[in-house]
Amino acid sequence: MYFFLFFLLLIVLCLGLFFRRRHRAMKKLRCMTCCEKQRLLDTILEPFGYYYESKQDLVSTRNDAWQRQAGYTALFDKAALSFHMVFDALPVYFDYQGRTWLIEFWKGQYGINAGAEVGVYYADRLLEPEEYATARFQAAADNDRLPVTFSLFRKETLLATMSGNTWWLTAFLVGMYIDPAQLAMEITIRFPSLEMQRRFLEALSRLHQENKTLRYACCCQGLGVHICYSCGCPASPICPERITRLRRLRIRWAQLCNRFFCRLYCRITRPFTCTLDRILYLYELLPFILRRMLRRLKGVIRT
């Protein structure tokens, strides 16, 4: 009997502290200006390699993100499902000027974030095709970065547009759940030479010939290549041709969890509507949850 009363009192006390903290967090945010909020959020996100894009209310990656030093290997994509990341991936490998280059496109669900990425990498030598799955690629150096623009669509609705001279261009919409099959990307890449453009197009054409599940449209204008990408291919971690029954169950479970946590995030932060306020509110209310969320993102995306 006494244990039950003690337990009930503890619950009441915890609820009281939670609602008090909630009131203080809401009051603090409403007293801050937009500039103060953005400076604070960028300070929080910077150690993880991200920044807040206010014009589109999304999170993106910094050009000097620490992930640049880590480079990329296909093993990261294979491990992504263990971190509840379910996406289509289109890696394009081609040889140019004594190196094997990799330009890869991703779109899908990254935990509680829907988003897309374009990465530009190369190896320090020419690789054989059988080495692609295990080789480590380094991020393109400053003088090798490419002008990239992409737009992310959910069916006919434009979700985000990003542009930059970059090695890694991203857009993450926090708290949004979308199945990867509902997403499409329009990407434009400008190459420094016709030879590099030709090598990229040949590799993309070979990929399409080998993998009939790949759906894309492509056109050229000068040194630019415009690609409309809507469906994955066998190189994708969630390609139907490579999915076993067990993997299909894992994908469904991951997406079920992603949907649940998206709803929970929106529920907890419902006093606010924009990502800036919601993340800062979560930071003030439950900082350990935000740190864990960012630490998980930090630990698996292009690391």
Report the largest interatomic distance among the alpha carbons of the chain, rounded to a whole angstrom.
Answer: 81
CA dihedral 64, 299, 74, 70 (to 10 degrees): 40
Reduce the DSSP state of residue 160 to 3 states and report it.
strand
pLDDT tens digit string along 22-71? 657 677 777 888 888 899 999 989 988 899 999 999 999 999 888 898 89
pLDDT tens digit string along 197-223? 999 999 998 887 777 677 777 889 899
Q: How far apart are CA 29 and CA 277, in angstroms?
A: 7
User: 238, 96 in Cβ contact below 8 A?
Assistant: no
Residue 4: the pLDDT is 43
Tell me the pLDDT band of 281, cut-offs 50, 70 and 90.
Answer: confident
Q: Is the pLDDT of residue 298 over 70?
A: no
Tell me the pLDDT band of 243, cut-offs 50, 70 and 90.
Answer: low
Residue 22: the pLDDT is 65
Q: How far apart are CA 91 and CA 214, in angstroms?
A: 11
pLDDT tens digit string along 77-99? 888 888 889 998 899 999 999 99
Q: Is the pLDDT of residue 234 over 70?
A: no
